[in-house]
Amino acid sequence: METAELKLKLFRYIDSLDDNHLTYVYNLLIDKADINDFWNNLTEFQKKDIEKGLNDLNEGKRKNIEEILKKY
Q: Which pLDDT tens digit goes with each residue over 31-46? A: 665 656 778 788 999 9
Q: Are residues 43 and 72 in the same domain?
A: yes
Q: Are residues 22 and 45 in the same domain?
A: no
Domain range enclosing 16: 1-33
Q: Are residues 63 and 42 in the same domain?
A: yes
The stretch 65-71 carries a mean pLDDT of 84
The stretch 3-29 carries a mean pLDDT of 90
Number of Cβ atoms within 10 Å of the Cβ of 3: 7
Backbone angles phi, psi at 37, to 5 degrees: -90, 70
Give the percent of the chain with pLDDT over 90: 43
The stretch 66-71 carries a mean pLDDT of 84
Asked whether residue 12 carries a pLDDT value surpassing 60, the answer given is yes
Q: Are residues 48 and 28 in the same domain?
A: no
Q: Are residues 24 and 55 in the same domain?
A: no
Q: Are residues 41 and 67 in the same domain?
A: yes
